[in-house]
């Protein structure tokens, strides 16, 4: 991750409690379209942040992997689903399928996903800052501010802390 992105994450992390409080207040406002506000700031943040200069999510967050994800990855890797499981996956303590190791085994040296078109659904949706009913994901987003500069910027701006 480039230094500029580290600075963004550090700056926003220092405001975490204020952001958390402001989000709690925003969630109570019935007339405010929180999804629209998040979506607007999501687009704005992606104008400034280049994921290929970061890939911190691919290096540190392990997505949940569904059976459909495994099937997609198996087709892309020209393997059997069972071999994909044996090679790259494990079941965690909750019985969820995750990568055996991090960083992601599909992340190459240029921060590209070698199976981008077949990547897991959780990877496709990340960083979740432009999803419907974002109100229910603010807890996750508060945690992800420490990982993703896009999430950090979106949270900072939505909370009016910039």
pLDDT in tens, 40-63: 999 999 999 999 999 999 999 989
Both 70 and 117 in a single domain? yes
Reported as a single tens digit per residue, the pLDDT across 71-90 is 999 999 999 999 999 999 99
Both 119 and 132 in a single domain? no
Both 46 and 19 in a single domain? yes
pTM over 0.75: yes
Q: Number of folded domains in the chain?
A: 2
Both 72 and 42 in a single domain? no
Both 96 and 120 in a single domain? yes
User: How is residue 118 written in tokens?
Assistant: 């077949």
Both 133 and 98 in a single domain? no
Give, rounded to a whole angstrom, the gap between the first and last alpha carbons of the chain. Answer: 22
- 73: domain range? 62-125
Given the DSSP bridges, would you call strands 97-99 and 89-91 parallel, antiparallel or unpaired? antiparallel
Both 121 and 88 in a single domain? yes
């Amino acid at each position: 991750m480039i230094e500029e992105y580290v600075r963004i994450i550090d700056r926003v992390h220092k405001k975490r409690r204020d952001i958390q409080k402001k989000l709690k207040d925003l969630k109570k406002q019935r007339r405010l379209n929180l999804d629209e506000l998040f979506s607007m700031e999501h687009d704005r943040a992606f104008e400034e942040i280049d994921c290929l200069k970061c890939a911190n999510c691919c290096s540190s967050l392990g997505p949940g992997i569904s059976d459909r994800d495994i099937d997609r990855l198996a087709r892309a890797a020209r393997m059997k689903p069972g071999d994909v499981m044996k090679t790259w996956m494990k079941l965690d303590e909750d019985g969820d399928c995750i990568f055996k190791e991090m960083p992601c085994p599909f992340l190459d040296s240029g921060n590209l996903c070698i199976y981008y078109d077949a990547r897991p659904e959780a990877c496709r949706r990340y960083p979740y800052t432009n999803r419907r009913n974002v109100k229910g994901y603010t807890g996750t987003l508060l945690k992800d501010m420490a990982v993703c500069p896009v999430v950090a910027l979106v949270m900072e701006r939505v909370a009016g802390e910039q």
